[in-house]
Amino acid sequence: MDYGPFLKSIVDLDPCAVVICNLEHEIIYMNPAAKGRYARRGGERLIGRSLLHCHNADSCQKIERTVDWFLSDREHNRMFTFHDERENKDVYMMALREADGSLIGYYEKHEYRTAETGACYEGIS
């Protein structure tokens, strides 16, 4: 079975920005939320460009060190990068691996900490 359409749908419908990079730090995919979030910086036009061009020198060094950490052990897959107090979210770098465990890239994951305000199963009867 081809899981590609299912996985793409999960990423595309995620309300959080998802930016996927290969090991050369090239942005290879942005979900719709990421294209909107980073519209001021170029949005969809960032695809194909280096993620390192979007960050300062200190951040670039941390990104490269995290990729090295991912490469050092197949169990190294999630790195907490910062907490954004204004949006009440934590941000992580996440490893992307082949079925054999080899590293093929990484992505940025946002986890919002603000509690849901809607009712459970709101809108269905």
Q: Is residue 93 part of a domain?
A: yes
Q: Is residue 78 part of a domain?
A: yes
Q: Is residue 50 part of a domain?
A: yes
- pLDDT tens column, 25-49: 999 999 999 999 999 999 999 999 9
Q: Is residue 120 part of a domain?
A: no
- pLDDT tens column, 56-101: 999 999 999 999 999 999 999 999 999 999 999 999 999 999 999 9
Query: Total domain count for the chain?
Result: 1
Domain that holds residue 93: 4-112
CA-closest candidate to residue 38, choices 19, 20, 57: 19
Q: Is residue 121 part of a domain?
A: no
- 88-118 in b/e form (b: 16+ CB < 10 A) is ebebbbbbeeeeeeebebbbbbbeeeeeeee
Q: Is residue 108 part of a domain?
A: yes
CATH (domain of 20) = 3.30.450.20
